[in-house]
Structure 1
């Protein structure tokens, strides 16, 4: 009992490290243990071809020295030494790779041994208890055997004459035997109960550990809930602060608007006063001009009177007037002297009357001038009053207009700012939220090396079927891996429902990474339909699903893993229009970011350059699915030339029962390293496929006007080695083999590349007649056999049959 408690406490102190196939903590299941042990045995038993080649370097014949050609002999010797050096370097690299893989497996085995040791101690304790029970049972059995022996002796004695005594002794012994058997059963039941108690105690300890772990989880959840509550409070406070600042900004804006209205009103009054002064000045000027005209007219009359008098000199005229007055006075005196008193009195009264009338005329004339001046002043005052009334009315009208305009602007501002986000909020809120996501900031555990493409393809097949319940042939998986090495744009064609979208999703699940599906719409025309657009009214960028997936691919969680973006039904619209930016980037990566906005605002996403653009991550593959029906468009040659084309079979295969283990969480660098290694190892395969296409080049041009471009040449160099490496080894029957089961990796790569990258150029060209297609097909079959290709070119044959049916209607 004490040993059980010690072993249990030791297990609690040193718990085994959990693991699983998702890159987090691996499970302790027997299947995972067996898989890791099998990987270790495979690593130990597999002979690396690089090391075998290095071993063959020792078998190279030494160069023969020739006195006639010493320089050639030295050159041959140096060539042999250089060849051996290369072999040894390759062998050393392979040995280092195997050493690193072995170390990783040893670390895992060491972790397993920690948990196995604890299980062994429990097993030893259980074995010890069982051994004690076996010893006791053996002792009891020995005693029973002794009793039986005594009984047999007594029976022999009974046969010789002591039957009655023997019978009594036998009954006594049977009774004693029954008692001992009952006692033994009781002891055995007691030991069993004790064992059950020990097992229950062990289960109680395990339950206690589980409860402790659950309590820890609950406490962690409680802490997380408290932190979330605190974050919510902080968010509410920030929201309140933002609203307060926004209210202050609105109040300041309103005060500025009121001040502007007041300034405009004062300016209007000042303009009205200036206009009134100008008008008064014009009236004064008009009155002065009128007075000047009157004076000029009187002056003209005086000048006319002077002319009538025959002189223009006023002094002379005065002298003459004075002389006339003197003469008149003299004449009056003379008349007065001649007139009588009555006449003289009448004359003097007339003169007096004349003087009074003259004075009255003078007074009336002065009064008239004063009245005219008053009338003019009253006219000016009345004009001023009317102008002031007009200005006051204009001011009232302007005031009412400004007040209504201010009220309207206030309502507009309230409507605008009611649901408008804070101008300091992020322009790309979804991308910024990914920066704060704890899961996306955890890179996890990845393997950067050690992919064997042959076993990798078989493991992918079984893992994809086990994890996603999707069955795919090894040939299709090998072709898909070759496409990943050839291009970052894939086109999956075929009838609906055959698993075009499911293939990349299941592939991503098996690789412990992610696959985002973006549904293409028929109305897409430019890059804004793919990436999204800037909503200036709401002050944020409408982030599309594609942009969010592209940004997620660059987060710490996925930036070192292969990431797949599926453009579902890619040919509903023309990718040459909405996908043109990425087509250019995939062809010639210039290292520049894809600009989405002209200026940044708020908190920028971490991956954006200057807050306005996003680089294309190097770990992303774009996979477009395409249905060929009346609702879709035909891809342009620009898209086909830059993409890897693949058609999936219409029937799913039957995946054989095999235990290939789970696929490890490999990084994208590990995948690229495996592709590079395949190109180094299988260069001869590239030469053979290139030779096949070279032999066909004459007929290809003569019958179909088809020739290979430098881009297609480069794609062949990347595609063929990976397919050959992934297709190596024997594969069990998958039922639906589509007549390519007899093809090896070389024939599979040659057939697929010839069908979808070379022969596909004749599709839709009706100048290639059925007779030319027939001749071209015969040439392909002839050179296929001449170049020693395994099986038949089934994919190329399907292309010829389809084009023949297309032309024959």
Structure 2
């Protein structure tokens, strides 16, 4: 019912997207039509103004011809010349008046009349010429403004035409992309790489695998197989490290290999996968990783496609018939360049579940059509039991310190420099069954369950536990006991001892930096008392030797505090 509602919601959202697309296309068409009409109106207006200007120019030409005729009639004299002549005439008139008093009256009167008549004619001519001259000046100024406006409109028109052409190209490109994406949605699966594994022959064909012999014999054989697993280089790991690796494989699906550069952390992970006949997917962790999408990939809702990263493909590959019974590795190289508690958080939670079939990672909120067949509910990927996550960790200024959440869930190994050489035995290549390896782990746990339980009970009731709780605020959790019940029996079955296994667990789980050692809120006496209590427990429990790894960590920290004081 919830799935139907989700599908109905997606259909409505798709319909809304289509409606929005149609509205967008209508709006674009309407805006283009409005812009085209606006341009046509502007062009019509410009053409009307141009026609008016030409008419006005014709009128001015006619008036200019009249003015030219008048100027010819006046002897091509300017208005200033005519005014000058009037002034001269006035002066002559004055002179004549004075002469009139001294000359013959009648003749002077005739001259006066003539001059008055000439003056009147000149004044009439000036009255006609001045308005025409003013009008000509006004029309000339108007024509200059109109010419400037025409040039501006022409430039604006060219710019608008360029914008129109650009928009047309963008619209055509968008329509092409929408058509391509729509066509792709109809044909492609949301998980192309994983769907290919459903049908690929190299994934569908099952293989026969060899069974793991007894763990003691297998540890010795694995040491030599790992030594020759990598081409052109021989890898020499002590048998103690191989036993720790097997114990860690039984205890947890998450491993942390730490140590200085060059100790073979990456090589051990790759060589183990090759020696077992499985695959190793190498993933280089980046400093900017923040969430699981950086590890698995992400879903593009518009394209309806999941961009599958190598980790996701490896999880699916491990479940195919070809690889489902092999021992496989996902290598997180330099896992602490970013914080695993962020990008690996969902895996940390999934690996905590006791029911291995419930170790699922959701890739989408709802089921996807045409999803790969091995996805649960069409959207969840199983973290299969035959995959181990092995992270390598360097400690320098470019890395982050791993949080307790990661350390407590992982099997931690500190690899020293490879200086232990031995004579390598050659074995034919083999592919060992994961089921047989897990069966060997279970048999070892059942065989040694009682004695390991007694050892843990003794440890819980010992004074060492009291010191840890009182001075360091630490106790034994259910996770520690659960891991010890898997780790210690496998170490014993592989030829090791309870003391070796417990020393490793205590040094990596309890005595490590930040838990017991490397703290500034505990006293020197507390560390010495803890060391004494540990050695006392070792003797009373009848454990062989001394807890070398734990004692070394405690002594280094004691020297640190003594140096400070």
TM-score by length of 1: 0.46
Query: Displacement of 1:583 after TM fit?
Result: 0.8
Of 493-502 and 588-597, the range deviating more from structure 2: 588-597
**Partner in structure 1 of residue 88 of structure 2:** none
* Residues 606 and 576 of structure 1, relative CA distance in 2, 3 Å threshold: same
1:362 corresponds in structure 2 to none
Tell whether 2:200 aligns with 1:437: yes
For the pair 1:753 / 2:505, whether they are aligned, the reply is yes
Structure 2 equivalent of residue 714 of structure 1: 482
Tell me how far 1:402 sits from its aligned partner.
Answer: 11
SS state at 1:557 partner = coil
Choose from 219, 228, 238 the match for 1:473. Answer: 238
Query: SS where residue 422 of structure 1 aligns?
Result: helix
Partner of 1:762: 516
Query: Is 1:777–2:542 an aligned residue pair?
Result: no
The 8 Å contact of residues 227 and 424 in structure 2, kept in 1 or not, is answered as no
Q: Where in structure 2 are the equivalents of 1:620-659 lying within 5 Å?
A: 620-658=387-425
Partner of 2:299: 534
The alpha carbon displacement at 1:602 in A equals: 6.8
Residue in 2 that maps onto 1:581: 346
Give the Å deviation of 1:572.
1.2
- The structure-2 alpha-carbon separation of the partners of 1:802 and 1:635, relative to structure 1 and needing over 3 Å to count, comes to farther
**2:278 alignment partner, one of 513, 532, 536:** 513
- Check whether the contact 2:264–2:418 (CA below 8 A) recurs between aligned residues: no
Q: Name which of 793, 798, 805 aligns with 2:552.
A: 798
More contact order relative to length (CA 8 Å, sep ≥ 6): 2
1:699 is aligned to 467
Structure having the higher Rg: 1
Q: Distance in 2 between matches of 1:488 and 1:677?
A: 19
Over 3 Å counting, the alpha-carbon distance change for 1:520 and 1:260 in structure 2 is: closer
**Does the CA contact (< 8 Å) of 1:443 and 1:556 recur in 2?**
yes
Tell whether the 8 Å contact from 2:330 to 2:387 is kept in structure 1 after alignment: yes
Cα distance in 2 for residues equivalent to 1:486 and 1:411: 57
Corresponding residue for residue 681 of structure 1: 447
Alignment correspondent of 1:451: 213
**Alignment partner of 1:616 is 2:383:** yes
Distance 1:767 1:433, change over 3 A: same
User: 1 CA distance for matches of 2:556 and 2:432?
Assistant: 39
Deviation, structure 1 residue 679: 1.3
Number of the residue aligned with 2:175: 413
Matches within 5 A, 1:467-616: 467-468=229-230, 469-536=234-301, 539-588=304-353, 591=358, 593-598=360-365, 603-616=370-383
Q: Is the 1:685–1:721 Cα contact (8 Å) retained in structure 2?
A: no
Q: Secondary structure at the match of 1:670?
A: helix
Report deviation, 1:702: 3.2
Q: How does 1:84-483 map to 2 (within 5 A)?
A: 408-415=170-177, 422-423=184-185, 424-447=187-210, 449=211, 451-468=213-230, 469-483=234-248
Instruction: Give 1:641 shift.
Output: 1.5
- Cα deviation for residue 567 of structure 1 reads 0.9
Alpha-carbon distance between aligned partners in 1 of 2:502 and 2:368, rounded to the nearest angstrom: 53
Measured at CA, do residues 487 and 414 of structure 1 come closer, stay the same or move farther in structure 2, by a change above 3 Å? same
Shift of 1:538: 5.2
Cα–Cα, structure 1 residues 557 and 415, in superposed 2: closer, same or farther, change >3 Å?
same
Judge conservation of contact 1:526–1:578 (CA < 8 Å) in 2: yes
- CA gap of 1:684–1:415, structure 2 versus 1, over 3 A, is closer
Q: CA deviation at 1:594?
A: 2.2
Paired residues of 2:330 and 2:389 also in contact (CA < 8 A):
yes
Quote the offset at 1:261 in angstroms: 5.8
Structure having the higher helix fraction is 1
The answer for the alignment partner of 2:151 in structure 1 is none
The residue aligned with 2:120 is: none
Aligned residue for 1:554, secondary structure, equals coil
- Decide whether the 8 Å contact of 1:563 with 1:619 is kept in 2: yes
SS for the counterpart of 1:609 is coil
Shift of 1:412: 2.1
User: Does the 8 Å CA contact 1:462/1:655 hold for their aligned counterparts?
Assistant: no
SS of the residue 2:521 aligns to: coil
Once the two structures are superposed, residues 516-539 of structure 1 have per-residue CA deviations (whole angstroms, 9 ceiling, x without a partner) of 111111111111111112235655
Aligned-partner SS, 2:555: helix
1:20-39 C-alpha deviation (Å, 9 max, x unpaired): xxxxxxxxxxxxxxxxxxxx
CA distance in 2, matches of 1:756, 1:403: 69
- Relative distance call for 1:549 and 1:749 in structure 2 (3 A) is same
- Cα gap change, 1:782/1:662 in structure 2, threshold over 3 Å: closer, same or farther? farther
How far does residue 759 in structure 1 lie from its aligned partner after superposition?
2.3
Deviation at 1:792, TM superposition (A): 2.2
Deviation at 1:684, TM superposition (A): 4.7
Distance 1:467 1:592, change over 3 A: closer
The offset of 1:648, in angstroms, is 1.1
For these two proteins, the number of residue pairs brought into alignment is 409
SS at match of 2:245: helix
| Matching of residue 726 in structure 1 with residue 494 in structure 2 | yes
Residue 667 of structure 1: how far off its partner (Å): 1.8
Q: Secondary structure at the match of 2:485?
A: helix
SS of aligned partner of 1:625: strand
* Residue 711 of structure 1, CA deviation: 1.2
C-alpha displacement at 1:405, in angstroms? Answer: 6.9
- Distance in 1 (CA, whole Å) between partners of 2:411 and 2:390 is 9
TM-align CA RMSD? 3.5
Q: How far did residue 437 of structure 1 move?
A: 2.9
Q: For residues 718 and 582 of structure 1, what CA distance do their matches in structure 2 show?
A: 20
Any conservation in 2 of the 1:426–1:601 contact (CA below 8 Å)?
no
Using the alignment, how far apart are the partners of 1:551 and 1:793 within structure 2?
41
TM-fit CA distance, 1:415: 4.9
TM-score by length of 2: 0.65
Shift of 1:768: 1.8
Deviation of 1:635 after TM superposition, in Å, equals: 1.4
State the shift of 1:575 in Å.
1.1
- Secondary structure class of the residue paired with 1:678: helix
Distance 2:260 2:460 in 1: 29
C-alpha deviation, 1:668, in angstroms: 1.7
Note the residue ranges of structure 2 that are not aligned, 5 or more in a row: 1-20, 38-162
